[in-house]
């Protein structure tokens, strides 16, 4: 028997980020459309041929994208918003939708479920007429055919499309399903004509959010319709990132050929297996979104368990989701102790194929036999490796006597106010100042050894001197050192903590052409030495004003990293919290009176399923509190978060027990602050009055008006005045006048 294999999608940005470079060259007129298309065809071919040569049976097309697969779906469904219709050239229009231009605003972008990938949010309206545009799909299909592949076609499903859309009334867009269904029907009709056997994988990750009965019957209706159009089409409905046991009851009676389930992040999928008897099961057993080697024996056991419900020859082995979320190849990483534990896209493909061979009971070739043996010994050795397990960390955790800081807020804040002696409406910034070319070069040169330790330190100190001098000159109340030593708010700390690893080429797409190289947390996290004290105390030594210490919080460090999978995330986060806790202790011992612990990605870790939210909030809040538990009553703890949707989480935020929180103010300040007022939030808040995402320099008048608006909602004694995020992406020419105006506006208001 031959067990088949499937991959939901492949990375597309290029192993050396070729696509990123080509698109950016095209944007700056250094590459023609034809050349860009050539580069992308080469990348697609490489992906296809690799999968084919490795022995994957169902290989995707239409998983490629010039920007984002949701944006592709918008184009495919003719859901282009009115404001872009004036742009005639389709290719140009596509990028303007993503990025905007001088006259048209870009479409909104947001996080794809609980990943760090961002998609373009469809903007629908009730008079939007959907219509099919299958050009991209057909041409990719044909390209794959030329490579000798009979590709499976990937399409974003109608429910996921609508569930992630918004219209003028908000987010409830399922009402458009009847208008959308005919477009999907025409698509299937068209695809049926391509060959005698056409595999179409409809991606419906939205199902893992759980569904009500109403949605269930809609699902049944839609998939009954789509699965009975043409027998030549083999329809697969795929879900990922969680279980979707509920949806299975509704797909049961349809003619859908196969159902894709994630058994890595959705163990509960087992509960629904009896509902899809008679259909193919695409069993996602190889983790598609983390970078660790698969435990082949464990996956085999999982598959054997599954075959207790679904006949073996109905099982197709797959990754848990698209490989978009992992880098290309671990092989090209430099040698390290942990290199053999990695499995990126290329390696995952091999794992899927090996599993299929083992599961089908096929005689293994010599090479496969060797791969299986190596897998067993790597897994065995990894479990007991002393670079993963650091007894010092558990010893330290045992000695912690309290997980909460001393004193309650209402008393603490008085003590702090007496010591700090700040004026009403204190002014501050969020941490970083503009990162100049010179600074980037200095850090790079230090890494490569081109400058000495002394030269590097002097360079950083010079920048700190300038930041302090500027802040004093314009009269800010609480100063920062400017973060010149940091390339990135997570990487900086990861590089100073044991248990972290940095890949050389582990890029993953974050959005469009933007890629990130997440740190890898492979072992127990430990802080061998202070991480920030030298710079913060240097800055403090240069001024009589108060300098705020600057740290990244445990939840953010966790949410922006690839995290070990042999320990619960909450435990990993606790270890990071311990390190931050010790850093806070050292900072306050060195005389630092205010310490900010950034939790920019606190919200990003929220689980997909409602029923898991309370648990996440509990440990995330507790770990933040643990991180700041070493702070004395008189040490003022700030936190910063990069968003403004606080409606549902104000009480969670209050539970973090920070003294001051600075936040983004994308919506109108009043609306935002009402949420805090209405819930009786009692702590100090700094709603950003300067939008750092724009080069615009607000005038004194504008700042004043904003501050007056804030004062209408919250009393002055609760307010801080600051920009809405760090200034590192701005230019000094913008930041200097903007901050000057901000301080001047506050002064004007203080006297009236």
Would you count residue 118 as binding ligand GLN (CB under 6 A)?
A: no
Note if 309 is an active site residue. no
Q: Which of residues 610-669 bind Zn ion (CB under 5 A)?
A: 642
**Minimal CB distance residue for ligand GLN:** 726
Structure token digits, residue 44: 């697609």
Question: By C-beta, is 47 or 435 nearer to Zn ion?
Answer: 435
Would you count residue 638 as binding ligand GLN (CB under 6 A)?
A: no
- 583: Cβ contacts below 8 Å, ≥ 6 apart: 527, 530, 531, 532, 533, 551
Q: Which of 424, 487, 484, 492 is nearest to 459 (CA)?
A: 484
Helix (H, G, I), strand (E, B) or coil at 547: strand
**# of chain residues touching ligand GLN (CB under 6 A):** 13
264 binds, among ligand GLN, Zn ion, none (CB under 5 to 8 A by kind): none
Would you count residue 692 as binding ligand GLN (CB under 6 A)?
A: no
| In the complex, minimum distance from the CB of residue 641 to Zn ion, in angstroms, rounded to a whole number | 7
Helix (H, G, I), strand (E, B) or coil at 239: coil
The Cα 220–Cα 557 span in angstroms is: 41
Phi, psi dihedral angles at 144 (to 5 degrees): -65, -40
Other CB atoms within a 10 A radius of the CB of residue 725 amount to: 26
Helix (H, G, I), strand (E, B) or coil at 663: strand
| In the complex, minimum distance from the CB of residue 488 to Zn ion, in angstroms, rounded to a whole number | 13
Would you count residue 553 as binding ligand GLN (CB under 6 A)?
A: no
| In the complex, minimum distance from the CB of residue 404 to Zn ion, in angstroms, rounded to a whole number | 26
| In the complex, minimum distance from the CB of residue 505 to ligand GLN, in angstroms, rounded to a whole number | 24
Question: By C-beta, is 153 or 642 nearer to Zn ion?
Answer: 642
Would you count residue 432 as binding ligand GLN (CB under 6 A)?
A: yes
Helices (H), 496-564: 533-541, 554-559
CA 670 to chain centre: 29
Binding mask 581-600 for ligand GLN (x = CB under 6 A): -----------------x-x
156 binds, among ligand GLN, Zn ion, none (CB under 5 to 8 A by kind): none
425 binds, among Zn ion, ligand GLN, none (CB under 5 to 8 A by kind): none
CB 326 within 8 A of CB 310: no
Binding mask 31-50 for ligand GLN (x = CB under 6 A): --------------------
524 binds, among ligand GLN, Zn ion, none (CB under 5 to 8 A by kind): none
Would you count residue 580 as binding ligand GLN (CB under 6 A)?
A: no
Q: Which of residues 483-522 bind ligand GLN (CB under 6 A)?
A: 483, 489
The Cα 244–Cα 260 span in angstroms is: 10
Q: Which of residues 693-732 bind ligand GLN (CB under 6 A)?
A: 725-726, 728
Q: Which stretch binds Zn ion (CB under 5 A): 27-35, 48-56, 72-80, 721-729?
A: 721-729
Binding mask 596-635 for ligand GLN (x = CB under 6 A): --x-x-----------------------------------
On the CB side of 684, how many CA atoms lie within 13 Å of its CA?
26
Specify burial of residue 525 (Cβ count, 10 A radius: 0-12, 13-18, 19+). Answer: buried
DSSP E strands: which ranges in 172-331? 198-203, 233-238, 258-262, 280-286, 315-319
Q: Which of residues 341-400 bind ligand GLN (CB under 6 A)?
A: none
Other CB atoms within a 10 A radius of the CB of residue 500 amount to: 21
CB 343 within 8 A of CB 361: no
- 45: Cβ contacts below 8 Å, ≥ 6 apart: 143, 147
Binding mask 727-746 for ligand GLN (x = CB under 6 A): -x------------------
Other CB atoms within a 10 A radius of the CB of residue 50 amount to: 18
**# of chain residues touching Zn ion (CB under 5 A):** 3
Concatenated DSSP letters of 585-639? HHHHHTT--EEEEE-TTTGGG--SSGGGHHHHHHHHHHHHHHHTTT--TTSEEEE
Question: By C-beta, is 173 or 515 nearer to ligand GLN?
Answer: 515
Concatenated DSSP letters of 663-691? E---S-HHHHHHHHHHTT--SEEEEEEE-
Would you count residue 554 as binding ligand GLN (CB under 6 A)?
A: no
| In the complex, minimum distance from the CB of residue 166 to Zn ion, in angstroms, rounded to a whole number | 23
Would you count residue 550 as binding ligand GLN (CB under 6 A)?
A: yes
Residues at the site binding Zn ion, with contacts judged by CB under 5 A? 600, 642, 725
Q: Which of the residues are catalytic? A: 693
Residues at the site binding ligand GLN, with contacts judged by CB under 6 A? 430-432, 483, 489, 550, 598, 600, 640, 642, 725-726, 728
């Amino acid at each position: 028997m031959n067990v088949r294999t499937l991959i939901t999608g492949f990375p597309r940005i290029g192993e050396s980020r070729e696509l990123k470079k080509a698109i950016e060259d095209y944007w700056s007129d250094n590459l023609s459309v034809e050349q860009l298309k050539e580069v992308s065809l080469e990348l697609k071919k490489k992906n296809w041929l690799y999968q084919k040569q490795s022995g994957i049976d169902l290989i995707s097309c239409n998983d490629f994208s010039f920007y984002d697969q949701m944006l592709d779906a918008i184009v495919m469904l003719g859901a282009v918003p009115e404001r872009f219709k004036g742009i005639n050239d389709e290719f140009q229009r596509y990028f303007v939708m993503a990025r905007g231009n001088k006259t048209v605003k870009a479409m909104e972008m947001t996080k794809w479920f609980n990943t760090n990938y961002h998609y373009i949010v469809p903007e629908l309206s009730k008079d939007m007429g959907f219509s099919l545009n299958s050009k991209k799909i057909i041409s990719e299909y044909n390209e794959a055919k030329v490579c000798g592949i009979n590709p499976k076609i990937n399409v974003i499903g109608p429910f996921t499309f609508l569930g992630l859309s918004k219209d003028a009334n908000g987010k409830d867009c399922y009402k458009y399903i009847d208008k959308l269904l005919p477009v999907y029907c025409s698509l299937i009709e068209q695809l049926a004509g391509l060959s005698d056997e056409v595999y179409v994988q409809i991606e419906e990750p939205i199902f893992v959010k759980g569904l009500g009965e109403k949605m269930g019957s809609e699902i049944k209706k839609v998939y009954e319709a789509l699965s009975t159009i043409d027998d030549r089409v083999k329809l697969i409905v795929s879900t990922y990132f969680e279980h979707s046991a509920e949806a299975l009851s509704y797909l049961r009676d349809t003619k859908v050929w196969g159902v894709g389930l994630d058994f890595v992040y959705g163990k509960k999928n087992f509960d629904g297996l009896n509902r899809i008897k008679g259909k193919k099961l695409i069993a996602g057993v190889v983790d598609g979104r983390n970078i660790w080697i698969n435990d082949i024996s464990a996956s085999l056991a999982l598959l054997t368990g599954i075959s207790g419900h679904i006949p073996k020859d109905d099982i197709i082995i797959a990754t848990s989701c698209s490989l978009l979320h992992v880098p290309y190849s671990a092989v090209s990483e430099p040698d390290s102790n942990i290199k053999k534990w990695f499995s990126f896209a290329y390696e995952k493909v091999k794992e899927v194929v090996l599993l299929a061979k083992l599961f089908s009971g096929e005689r293994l070739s010599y090479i496969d036999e060797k791969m299986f043996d190596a897998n067993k010994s790597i897994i065995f050795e990894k479990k007991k490796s002393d670079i993963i397990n650091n007894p010092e960390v558990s010893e330290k955790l045992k000695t912690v006597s309290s997980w909460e800081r001393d004193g309650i807020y209402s008393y603490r804040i008085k003590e702090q106010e007496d010591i700090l002696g700040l004026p009403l409406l204190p002014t501050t910034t969020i941490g970083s100042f503009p990162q100049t070319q010179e600074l980037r070069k200095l850090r790079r040169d230090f890494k490569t050894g081109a400058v000495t330790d002394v030269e590097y330190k002097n360079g950083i100190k010079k920048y700190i001197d300038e930041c302090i001098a500027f802040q004093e000159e314009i009269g800010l109340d609480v100063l920062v050192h400017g973060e010149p030593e940091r390339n990135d708010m997570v990487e900086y700390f990861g590089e100073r903590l044991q248990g972290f690893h940095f890949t050389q080429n582990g890029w993953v797409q974050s959005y469009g052409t933007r890629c990130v190289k997440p740190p890898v947390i492979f072992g127990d996290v430990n802080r061998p030495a202070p991480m920030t004290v030298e710079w913060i105390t240097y800055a403090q030594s240069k001024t009589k004003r108060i300098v705020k210490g600057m740290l990244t919080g445990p939840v953010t460090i966790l949410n922006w990293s690839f995290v070990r999978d042999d320990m619960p995330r909450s435990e990993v986060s606790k270890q990071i919290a311990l390190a931050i806790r010790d850093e806070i202790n050292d900072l306050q011992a060195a005389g630092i009176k205010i310490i900010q612990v950034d939790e920019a990605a606190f919200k990003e870790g929220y689980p997909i399923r409602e029923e898991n939210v309370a648990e996440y909030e509990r440990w995330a809040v507790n770990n933040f509190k643990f991180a700041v538990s070493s702070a004395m009553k008189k040490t003022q703890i700030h936190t910063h978060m990069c968003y403004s949707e606080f409606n549902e989480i104000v009480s969670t935020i209050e539970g973090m027990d920070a003294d001051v929180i600075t936040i983004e103010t994308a919506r109108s300040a009043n609306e935002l602050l009402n949420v805090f007022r209405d819930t009786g939030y009692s702590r100090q808040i700094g709603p950003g009055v300067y939008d750092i995402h724009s080069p615009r320099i607000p005038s004194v008048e504008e700042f004043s008006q904003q501050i007056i608006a804030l004062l209408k909602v919250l009393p002055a004694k609760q307010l801080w005045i600051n920009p809405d995020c760090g200034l590192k992406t701005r230019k000094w020419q913008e930041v200097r006048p903007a901050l000057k105006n901000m301080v001047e506006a506050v002064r004007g208001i203080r006297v009236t």
